[in-house]
Structure 1
Amino acid sequence: MDSLITAAARALAAGDPLAALKRVALRDDAPALALRGIAMAQLGDLARAKVLLRRAARAFGPREAVARARCVVAEAEIALVSRDLGWPARALDAARAILLAHGDHVNAAQARHIEARRLLLIGRLDAAEERLGEPAPLPLPPALLAAREMVLAGIALRRLRTGPARAALERAGQAARDADIPALTAEVAAAASVLHRPAARLIAGGQARPLLLAAVEAVLASDALVVDACRHVVRDAGVVVSLATRPVLFALARALAEAWPGDVSRDRLVRLAFGAKVADESHRARLRVEIGRLRAALRAQATLRATSQGFALAPRRASEVVVLARPVEEAHAGVLAFLADGEAWSSSALALALGTSQRTVQRALDELAAAGKAQAFGHGRARRWVTPPVPGFTTTLLLPGPLPGG
């Protein structure tokens, strides 16, 4: 490798893409194309970066399998950043196998971390943790160590384990400072800020107050009966009843929990559950059926007591009843939670991450765009969606992945 290529590679490792381009911008040999691609990716021109890396992979000869594998790893990271979650994972696995076979353990670890980040994005937390748990070279370079700790922090946050998340973010911050890459340091600081922003609202006794993630974790570990409007479950003492596929039952449970220890009138329950402006006998009959179903679903946690006006919730074991709600009640909150990371998402990537159909996601995006909460750029398969994050709030509880006890 000649001196210009070596100098450009060192500049990229230090997070200085402009210095790298000064050395290889006019060259079209395979190593220069690869370094130019990585530099363009660091500068944010992901489309140009992808083209350059593919040219580099083709330009490397048949005996340069390691160099081609490194290009694949770089392209996989670009796909991740551009939220192309449908990028073929098999290509990354094959590249990692080649790197391991040739003793390039650092780039193999990079490939493993990219796959773990993808799994984290789509809510496969156990798989992401398993991927990170595979043997890795020690010590890792500081930048790679920071990336690893960021994934561990992300897994802990999605599981609402704020202690391990804070520890991982502190380790990531130290590694980023050791790497001396300003963009990486800023990324870690942005991730750490999640711990200091409201993540949910606690509704109890007719009052609502914001909660940080640590407080949410404490509420879920308490002896209260929690009607969790972030995951649409009812939980107490480690028992979790999911009502995610039964929206009428959850609406009734939430209304009764918000009124506890009081009751809720039948007319109000009809309006909340069925959207009827005026309750007639057919609505009241339907309400009795749904209340019976809710009694059966929550029989281990609470009873539903009929009153002269309506119904009241009475916990069996819990000392109190609370509602855990999103910081901002918003239609299509799951879509907004992903868009709020600041990256540009395709509708297909959002569908994969949310575990739903692309058509459903597209309808949600169209409604958000009509309301001015999301905007698109590009056309066809290159169409991407973005939105500014909601100031002062974290979106952790809106993303897929089980909470404790789920």
Structure 2
Amino acid sequence: MDSLITAAARALATGDPLGALNRVALRGDAPALALRGIAMAQLGDFVRAKALLRSAARAFGPKEAVARARCVVAEAEIALVSRDLGWPAKALDAARATLAKHGDQVNAAHARYLEIRRLLLIGRLDEAEHMLAELAPAPTPPASRVVHELIVAGIAMRRLQAKKALAALARAERAARHAGIAALTAEVESASLVLNTPAARLMARGEQRLILLKEVEALLASRTLVVDACRHLVCDAGTLVSLARRPVLFTLASALGEAWPADVPRDTLIARAFRAKHADESHRARLRVEIGRLRAVLRTVAEVNATKRGFTLVPRRADEVVVLARPVDEKHAAVLAVLADGESWASSALALALGASQRTVQRALDSLMAAGKVQSFGRGRARRWMTPPVPGFTTTLLLPTPLPSD
């Protein structure tokens, strides 16, 4: 490798894409094309970056398997950053195996981190955690350790483990300072903001207030029965009852939790659960059926007792009942939560991340665009959606998370 290629590679490793381009911008050999592609990616021109990397992969000879594999890993990272979640994962896995076989453990680990970050984006936390446990961050460079700790923090935040996330971010900050790359430092600072901004609204005894992620963690570990409207759960000190697939039952549980320790009139429950303006005998009969189902589902954590005018929630072990609601009251909050990372998303990638159909996501995007909350650019399959982060709010509790079955 000649001196200009070496100098350009060092510039890219320290986050200086312009310095790298100054050295190889006029060259058309395979290593220069690859470095130019990575530099353009760091500058945000992903279309040009992908074209250069593919040209470099074709230009490398059949005996340069490692170089071609590195091009594939670089293209996979561009796909991840540009939220092309449909990029072929098999190609990245094959490139990772090639790099590991030829002793390039640093880039092999980087390929694995890309796989894990994709799993984290689409909410497959168990798989991401399992893959991460197989990687040892110590032998890797400081920049890779930053990525490792950011993934640890991301998983912890999605699992509502504020203490674990804080410790991981502290390690990431130290590694970022050691690496001396401004972009990494900024990414760590951005992730740290999540722990210092409201994560949810706490509603109890007719009052409500915003709380941080660490307060959510403490609340879920306390002797409090929590009706979690963010994830559609009822929680009692580690016991989780999922109502994610039982919307009527969750609506009833939420109404009873908001009113606790008072009861809720039958007509109010009918209006909220069935959206009926005028209750008749059929609605009252249906309410009795649904209350019976709710009693059966919540039997391990609470009772639902009848009163003269309605029903009341009586916790079995907890001292208090609260409702945990979204920090922002928005019908399509989950879509906004995914878009709040500041990247541009295709509707197909949003559908994959949210576990919804693409048509459902497209309707939500059209509604949000009409309200001026998102914007799009491009046409057809190249159309992308984005929005600035919701000011003053973290979106951790709005992101899709695997839930226990009913």
| Counterparts of 2:188 and 2:318, CA distance in 1 | 39
- Is the CA contact 1:116–1:128 (under 8 Å) kept in the aligned structure 2? yes
Report how far residue 404 of structure 1 moved.
Answer: 10
- Is the CA contact 1:159–1:402 (under 8 Å) kept in the aligned structure 2? no
Could you say which residue in structure 2 is the equivalent of 1:36?
Answer: 36
Report how far residue 209 of structure 1 moved.
Answer: 1.1
Report how far residue 111 of structure 1 moved.
Answer: 0.4
Deviations 1:197-248 (A, max 9, x none): 0101111111111111010001111111110001101111322111111111
| Counterparts of 1:9 and 1:320, CA distance in 2 | 59
Q: Which amino acid aligns with 2:176?
A: A
| Counterparts of 2:134 and 2:274, CA distance in 1 | 50
Could you say which residue in structure 2 is the equivalent of 1:20?
Answer: 20
| Counterparts of 1:182 and 1:237, CA distance in 2 | 41
- Is the CA contact 1:303–1:315 (under 8 Å) kept in the aligned structure 2? yes
- Is the CA contact 2:230–2:325 (under 8 Å) kept in the aligned structure 1? yes
Report how far residue 18 of structure 1 moved.
Answer: 0.5
Deviations 1:163-196 (A, max 9, x none): 1111111111111111111111011000011110
| Counterparts of 1:405 and 1:192, CA distance in 2 | 32
- Is the CA contact 1:106–1:137 (under 8 Å) kept in the aligned structure 2? no
Q: RMSD value over aligned CA atoms?
A: 1.5
| Counterparts of 2:160 and 2:275, CA distance in 1 | 34
- Is the CA contact 1:203–1:209 (under 8 Å) kept in the aligned structure 2? yes
Q: Secondary structure at the match of 1:385?
A: strand
Given the superposition, is the C-alpha separation of residues 237 and 404 from structure 1 closer, same or farther in structure 2, using an over 3 Å criterion? farther
- Is the CA contact 1:14–1:180 (under 8 Å) kept in the aligned structure 2? yes
Tell which deviates more after alignment, 107-116 or 238-247: 238-247
- Is the CA contact 1:206–1:258 (under 8 Å) kept in the aligned structure 2? yes
Could you say which residue in structure 2 is the equivalent of 1:351?
Answer: 351
- Is the CA contact 1:194–1:394 (under 8 Å) kept in the aligned structure 2? yes
Deviations 1:80-101 (A, max 9, x none): 0001111111111100111011
Report how far residue 49 of structure 1 moved.
Answer: 0.6
Given the superposition, is the C-alpha separation of residues 61 and 48 from structure 1 closer, same or farther in structure 2, using an over 3 Å criterion? same
Alignment of 1:3-152 (within 5 A): 3-136=3-136, 138-152=138-152
Alignment of 1:162-241 (within 5 A): 162-241=162-241
Given the superposition, is the C-alpha separation of residues 53 and 85 from structure 1 closer, same or farther in structure 2, using an over 3 Å criterion? same
| Counterparts of 1:157 and 1:402, CA distance in 2 | 14
Could you say which residue in structure 2 is the equivalent of 1:315?
Answer: 315
Given the superposition, is the C-alpha separation of residues 237 and 137 from structure 1 closer, same or farther in structure 2, using an over 3 Å criterion? closer
Report how far residue 281 of structure 1 moved.
Answer: 2.2
- Is the CA contact 2:241–2:404 (under 8 Å) kept in the aligned structure 1? no
Report how far residue 307 of structure 1 moved.
Answer: 1.6
Q: Secondary structure at the match of 2:264?
A: strand
Residues matched between the structures, number: 406
Q: Secondary structure at the match of 1:73?
A: helix
Q: Secondary structure at the match of 2:272?
A: helix
TM-score, normalised relative to structure 1? 0.97
- Is the CA contact 1:239–1:405 (under 8 Å) kept in the aligned structure 2? no
| Counterparts of 1:135 and 1:295, CA distance in 2 | 45
* Contiguous gaps of at least 5 residues in structure 1: none
| Counterparts of 2:107 and 2:130, CA distance in 1 | 18
* Contiguous gaps of at least 5 residues in structure 2: none
Q: Percent same amino acid at aligned positions? A: 74
Could you say which residue in structure 2 is the equivalent of 1:257?
Answer: 257
Deviations 1:103-152 (A, max 9, x none): 11111111011111111111111211222222447431111111111111
Could you say which residue in structure 2 is the equivalent of 1:364?
Answer: 364
Q: Which amino acid aligns with 1:352?
A: L
| Counterparts of 1:136 and 1:391, CA distance in 2 | 36
Tell which deviates more after alignment, 302-311 or 245-254: 302-311
Q: Which amino acid aligns with 1:232?
A: H
Given the superposition, is the C-alpha separation of residues 135 and 212 from structure 1 closer, same or farther in structure 2, using an over 3 Å criterion? closer
Deviations 1:297-330 (A, max 9, x none): 1122222122222111111221111101111121
Given the superposition, is the C-alpha separation of residues 137 and 283 from structure 1 closer, same or farther in structure 2, using an over 3 Å criterion? closer
Given the superposition, is the C-alpha separation of residues 135 and 313 from structure 1 closer, same or farther in structure 2, using an over 3 Å criterion? closer
- Is the CA contact 1:235–1:241 (under 8 Å) kept in the aligned structure 2? yes
TM-score, normalised relative to structure 2? 0.97
Asked if residue 274 in structure 1 is aligned to residue 267 in structure 2, the reply is no
| Counterparts of 1:271 and 1:126, CA distance in 2 | 39
